[in-house]
Each structure stands twice: as structure tokens, then as C-alpha cells.
Amino acid sequence: MRRLAGIFALFLLAGCGAVISEGPGLILDREGVVASEEALAARLAAADVVVLGEVHDNPVHHARQARVVRALGPAGVALEMVPEASEEGVQAFLAEGGAAGEIGPAIGWERMGWPEWELYAPIFEAAPGAYIAGGGVPRRQIRKALRAGAATAYGPGASEIGLTRPLDPQTRAEVEDEMIASHCNALPREVATGMVEAQRLRDARFARAVLRAREKGGGRVVLITGNGHARTDRGVPVYLRALAPDLTIVSVGMIEFADQDPSRLTGLPYDFVWVSRPHNRADPCEGFG
């Protein structure tokens, strides 16, 4: 009860209730119904795995992730942004007295292509003592997935986790369309087909990172990842359910939304969505013909 009360306080401090009528800060459940801070807090507190999505460069999303992590006090944190190859080094760094807020520089964050470390550091600092698991997939495996498919790139265990089952044609077409749109409609369809396989490989590897964090940490795990990977219909939760069907998983999509009409947010593939205003960024498609 003390932990649950602390999570309630987290959301009250975040001011969600005060801005629900404005759109940003709005929390909706899977059915698109406005959810209270208490409802979200209770679901998170009861979960074995909490998946927190993000738009990578949105500072509001990272601040919210850090507050949730601090309130939950997870035994493990798995992150898309940390390479699996760096996981052992992170544990050694922490065991030798390194500060969680310095993990990024220690693993060469500035060379990885993610937004600045200062956005992510509070998430690490919010979980002192947690096992840090890396979900980042080596480029050679990504290239193999692009050429030969996710199951081949994954290797042993691909059938167990569900990668040998092809996506149904409608889902595959939808994901390919999303890939093409996210690349300013300049991506050839055949390239998008390979990228879907790379996405599936990454989702499966992230699921494995979650399970390592749970095993090594000995308790609840929070996964930090992009919204696409946080989807409950075809993202990391699908592969987690294949490997560990008894786990309770709650996924929160951090959604950018400028419209004040929440009815347009129904049917999104998350257990909850937490709305923010769109981050002020340059148009990534500017300059495309």
C-alpha cells in the first residue's frame, strides 16, 4: 500500500488531472476512456513488466518515464538504447562505483545516434540498484534480418518466440505502409519489407532483454522503448507473452497529439496512452522531392 500511495502521489505531482481538459497530460485506457491517475498507478503497481513507450526526442516523455521508474522502484530496467553487448560492461561499471547518471558516457552514448544523454540520464538515476539490460541489436544481425528474415537472424529459439510464424498479409502491409510513411514516402516497398523483419527481430531481442532484467534483478522490470515497439498487438508484449505467458504486462504509449478531441485516440494498441503536445522539431521530410 505504501508503494501504491507513492505512485498516486507521482501522478498528482505530475499535474495530470489539472490539464485533462486541455489535451496534453490526458490519460486514456485501452477503450479510449479517460483514466484517473489512480487507475493508471494501480495497474502499473500490479504489473510484472511495465512497457513505457516514447517519441525519442520528446523531453516530456523522458521526464514522465523517469518519474514512473522512480515511483515503481523496479528490480530491472531494459532499454532499447543500450546495446546488448554493453550490458556486462554496465554492470561492471556500476559494481566499481560508477554513477548511474554516467552510464551513457561510459558506453559511448554520443556515438549511438540517440538524442542527447541528458534526456535519458534521469531514467537511469531513478533506478539505483536496478539491473540494466541492453536490448540494442548488433548491426550485423539487423543486416541479416533485412536480407534473410527475422527468424534466420535471431537463430536458435526463433520458433519458441514466434518469429517463424509469418505476419498475416494485412498486418505486414500495414507495417510496411507505416515504414514507408515514416521515411517520407521515399522508401521502396521491397526495402520496407526487409525493415519489417528487422523490426520483428528487435522486438524479440527487447523481450529477451526484459526477461534477463527480470531474472538478474529478481522482480518487476520497466522497458524503455519507442512507441512502435511498445504496441500490444505486434510489439514487444507479443514476444514476451510467447516466452512468459504468466507475466502481467502493462504498456503505456506516450503519444503526441495536438487535437483537443480525445475521441480520435480510440483504438490505439496500448493498455494506456499518455498524451503530450507535439515536440517542437524541424520537419524531417523537408527537402524530399
Please report the pLDDT score of residue 172 as a whole number. Answer: 95
pLDDT in tens, 154-168: 999 999 999 999 999
Determine contact, residues 87/134, Cβ cutoff 8 Å: yes
Q: Which whole number is the average pLDDT over 143-162?
A: 98
Is a pLDDT exceeding 70 seen at residue 12?
no
Beta bridge partners of 79: 134, 224
Domains belonging to the chain, first-starting first, are 23-220+250-259 (3.40.50)
pLDDT in tens, 24-61: 588 999 988 899 888 999 999 999 999 999 999 999 99
Please state, for a pLDDT cut of 90, what percent of the chain lies above it. Answer: 81
Instruction: Write the CB contacts of 61 (distance below 8 Å, at least 6 apart in sequence).
Output: 53, 54, 55, 254, 276
Number of H helices, E strands in the chain: 14, 7
Please report the pLDDT score of residue 6 as a whole number. Answer: 55
Residue 59's CB is within 10 A of a number of other CB atoms, namely 13
Spatial distance between the Cα atoms of 142 and 154, rounded to a whole number of angstroms: 10
pLDDT in tens, 77-89: 999 999 999 999 9
Q: Which whole number is the average pLDDT over 128-133?
A: 96
Q: For 226-261, b where at least 16 C-beta lie within 10 A, e where not — what string?
A: bbbbbbbebbbbbbbebbeeebebbbbbbbbbeeee
Is a pLDDT exceeding 90 seen at residue 262?
no
Spatial distance between the Cα atoms of 106 and 183, rounded to a whole number of angstroms: 32
Please report the pLDDT score of residue 10 as a whole number. Answer: 54
Name the DSSP class of 137.
Answer: P
pLDDT class for 7, splitting at 50, 70, 90? low
Beta bridge partners of 249: 49
Please report the pLDDT score of residue 4 as a whole number. Answer: 52
Q: Which helix (H) or strand (E) holds 232?
A: none
Within its chain, how far is the Cα of 160 from the centroid?
Answer: 22
In 3-state terms, what secondary structure has residue 136? strand
In 3-state terms, what secondary structure has residue 13? helix
Please report the pLDDT score of residue 259 as a whole number. Answer: 72
The C-alpha cell of 35 is what? Answer: 483514466
Please report the pLDDT score of residue 20 as a whole number. Answer: 29
Determine contact, residues 232/261, Cβ cutoff 8 Å: no
Spatial distance between the Cα atoms of 105 and 109, rounded to a whole number of angstroms: 6
Q: Which helix (H) or strand (E) holds 108?
A: none
Is a pLDDT exceeding 70 seen at residue 22?
no
Q: Which helix (H) or strand (E) holds 82?
A: strand 76-83
pLDDT in tens, 219-257: 999 999 999 999 999 999 999 999 999 999 999 999 998
CA 230-28-251 angle, to 5 degrees, is 20
In 3-state terms, what secondary structure has residue 248? coil
pLDDT in tens, 176-219: 999 999 999 999 999 999 999 999 999 999 999 999 999 999 99
CA torsion sign, 80 to 83 to 88 to 90?
Answer: negative
Please state the pTM of the whole predicted model. Answer: 0.92
